[in-house]
Structure 1
Amino acid sequence: MTSPADLIINWDVAQSAAARLVPPGPPLKPPAAAQEVADLRQSAAEAVSYVHTITGLSAAEGLGADQRDVLVVDRPGWSAANTDSFRKLLRPALEAAAEKKPQLFSEGSSAQVLGSAAAGAELGGILAFLSANVLGQFDPFHTSEQAPAGRLLLVAPNIVEIAKQLNVDRSDFRLWVCLHEQTHRVQFAAAPWLRDHLMSSISTLSISTMSQADALPQRIAEAVKGLRQELKQQKSGGQGDAAAETHPRNRLLEAIQSPEDREIMSHLTAVMSLLEGHANVVMDAVDASIVPTVKTIRRRFEQRGKNRSPLEKVIRKLLQLDAKAAQYRDGQKFVGHIVETVGMERFNTIWESPEHLPTETELHNPDDWIGRMGFTPQG
């Protein structure tokens, strides 16, 4: 019997649409492509020992020798891998939606077939854009015999293309990319409970969102009305609600989410910011003894981010990628402050249990986390 989740989104359409819409990568002859794959695997293996040295996490020991969960892919391959991950992550929520509205998802009906195909095509379009821009990714939600605890994806054509655009040393750039992605792999190895913790939070949030679908139109209308009144009061010189000073989009999201949903979203924001911020701190610790041309790579890569095309800027805004980047910078400040204040060894206790993870408030006030953990600044 077909899973209800597979009746809501046509995953085959998502995968084929992503493969069809993605722009081609740089042309490489088979021998050159094979060499690039081999070089990326070698860089991935080398990167782990450097992550181990910088972080001091014992979970990194031996990871470099295990290449079974390292997958070098092209753009369609990355999209296919992420289609599988979305399918697994969204299954509980989609099944909840189908259970609540079974009449809308009757297998074989025209509404079901057209709706699932449209949803698949939309997801495919998003994956196509991302697959042309992602350099690498650790996917903790993938499980298989070869990769029981997640897998590392390295998108070879993008790494080749960006290295060429930046005019940087290809070997150094490969290692630089692998250092970031292998840090994520080490994080989940150090906190084996983290995968299930994140999956549970994501599932709870998505199920809640789906279950409230019927009430969303009314809640959105009420939220918009409230925002209009607050903005009108501000313009007329009144103080208004202090919360109205935040971005209207954020106010709208807060209004249509339940308090429980907002709490989960806040937690996920803090955790994802921690993971990316930690990886950025590791990257900042990389010097010329590891990546000889690291200063040039950093400078040109950062400059590239400022020179995006108008279309790419619009798409990134729609997908809120720039907002995520800001969150990750907050995570980097959090990690950097704690490491500087109490040292790397004490910071590493953050991977011991869910209770040690920071709240979103602590993310912006790292001394609060230090106090909660009972640490004192090192002399």
Structure 2
Amino acid sequence: MNLLRSVRTVAEASGTGVVDWDRVGRAAKEGTDPGSLDLSPADRAGYASDVRDARDRLGSVGGISFAVPPTVEVQNRHHWIDANVETFRTVMAPVESHAAPAFPELSRIANTGTMSVLLAFLARNVLGQYDPLLLADEPDGDHGLYFVHPNVVRVADELDVSYPRFRRWIAFHEVAHAAEFGAAPWLPDYLESRMEDGVAAIAAGELDRDAFRELDAAMTAVEGYAELLMDRAFDDATDDLRRKLDARRSGGGPISRILRQLLGLGLKRRQYERGVAFFDHVADERGVAAAAAVWDEPTALPTDAEIDDPAAWIRRVNP
């Protein structure tokens, strides 16, 4: 890790775009320790076993059929940056296409620095990731399942929990997301359309509230259903893990808290809390398998109002 080199890379941002994405990736890696990827045979076997067990348990408990992505990678932090810089570029493309800064060179340097800092922050904190290839140039390609091994090891130690148990819990969480997208093949296109409509409106100086409201409701369902499956399918109680992770998320210094706000991680927590309450109610009333009806078709997703009134969703979709 070399922070001075990272700053120099940002200062040399060039090109015609609002962001120099090649230098974003380079600067993020130069400012981030990649971490050790020295996996023992037990580590490799453990990741593979955890993913297989999660697939079987989640499918059985949820009453759904899905395939684990063919791409399952155990990465270091630099690998994760390489895998995600293109996603950042694609998401920001509509905004960039409409931007006309008064001082383009200075703006490019500032934007490149901002994006590299955000990417580096995520690389140091992401534990696992299911990539459904949203907004990808080749949406029919292989979805990915990633584990950032140095972060998994470090956070298990910080939380004072068993590393194999924590690794397994992360695997269940990410495979639960794979289960959702496997059960709802229409979901990537649905999320893409809402994201594109919302971002395009912002780029045009407008706000498409309906698009963002529908996107928020869909992501709340994604977060809540995954937690429901995990709670009912994991080997043992997870209250201690959740409590310690919640304390970790709310901690950190002022810069960490600012970055979390910029990245919308506070919004994700709200989505998680509302989603968990919604699906717990549905599962208690109708069973875990009945909750999978949200993935039947886009109209089966709960509306924003129904998330806070799950009985209304039950009456409409699963009477």
TM-score (norm 2): 0.84
Q: Which amino acid aligns with 2:28?
A: A
**1:317 shift after superposition:** 3.3
Residue in structure 1 matched with residue 307 of structure 2 by the alignment: 363
Q: What is the alpha-carbon distance in structure 1 between the residues aligned to residue 243 and residue 91 of structure 2?
A: 36
**1:52 shift after superposition:** 0.7
Q: 1:173 aligns with which of 166, 177, 201?
A: 166
**1:145 shift after superposition:** 8.7
Residue in structure 1 matched with residue 11 of structure 2 by the alignment: none
Task: Tell me how many residue pairs correspond in the alignment.
Answer: 304
Query: Runs of 4 or more off by more than 4 Å in structure 1?
Result: 111-114, 142-147, 293-296
Contact kept, 8 Å, 1:89 with 1:199, in 2: the verdict is no
Q: Deviations over 1:269-309 (max 9, x none)?
A: 1111111111111222245xx25x74543443344345434
Contact kept, 8 Å, 1:274 with 1:331, in 2: the verdict is yes
Q: What is the alpha-carbon distance in structure 1 between the residues aligned to residue 29 and residue 262 of structure 2?
A: 21
Local SS of the residue matching 2:252: coil
Aligned ranges 1:264-303 → 2 under 5 Å: 264-287=211-234, 290-291=235-236, 294=238, 296-303=240-247
1:57 aligns with 2:64: yes
**1:159 shift after superposition:** 0.4
Local SS of the residue matching 2:141: coil
Q: What is the alpha-carbon distance in structure 2 between the residues aligned to residue 128 and residue 336 of structure 1?
A: 35
Q: Which amino acid aligns with 2:21?
A: W
**1:40 shift after superposition:** 2.1
**1:149 shift after superposition:** 4.6
CA-based RMSD: 2.8
Residue in structure 2 matched with residue 230 of structure 1 by the alignment: none
Q: 1:43 aligns with which of 40, 50, 62?
A: 50
Q: What is the alpha-carbon distance in structure 1 between the residues aligned to residue 120 and residue 42 of structure 2?
A: 25
Contact kept, 8 Å, 2:65 with 2:182, in 1: the verdict is no
Identity %: 31
Q: What is the alpha-carbon distance in structure 2 between the residues aligned to residue 168 and residue 36 of structure 1?
A: 16
Residue in structure 1 matched with residue 80 of structure 2 by the alignment: 78
Q: What is the alpha-carbon distance in structure 1 between the residues aligned to residue 31 and residue 296 of structure 2?
A: 42
- The worse-fitting range, judged by mean Cα deviation, of 84-93 and 13-22 is 84-93
Contact kept, 8 Å, 1:93 with 1:203, in 2: the verdict is no
Q: What is the alpha-carbon distance in structure 2 between the residues aligned to residue 147 and residue 178 of structure 1?
A: 24
Contact kept, 8 Å, 1:69 with 1:146, in 2: the verdict is no
Q: What is the alpha-carbon distance in structure 2 between the residues aligned to residue 195 and residue 22 of structure 1?
A: 31
Q: 2:266 aligns with which of 303, 322, 331?
A: 322
Q: 2:114 aligns with which of 122, 128, 141?
A: 122
TM-score (norm 1): 0.72
Aligned ranges 1:1-379 → 2 under 5 Å: 7-23=17-33, 25=35, 27=36, 30=38, 32=40, 36-59=43-66, 63-64=67-68, 68-95=70-97, 97=98, 112-141=104-133, 148-212=141-205, 258=207, 261-287=208-234, 290-291=235-236, 294=238, 296-373=240-317, 375-376=318-319
**Structure 2 spans left out of the alignment, 5+ residues:** 1-14
Distance 1:172 1:43, change over 3 A: same
**Structure 1 spans left out of the alignment, 5+ residues:** 106-110, 213-256
Q: What is the alpha-carbon distance in structure 2 between the residues aligned to residue 206 and residue 295 of structure 1?
A: 37
Distance 1:369 1:72, change over 3 A: same
Q: Which amino acid aligns with 2:76?
A: D
**1:92 shift after superposition:** 4.1
Higher Rg? 1
Q: What is the alpha-carbon distance in structure 2 between the residues aligned to residue 305 and residue 15 of structure 1?
A: 25
Distance 1:144 1:150, change over 3 A: farther
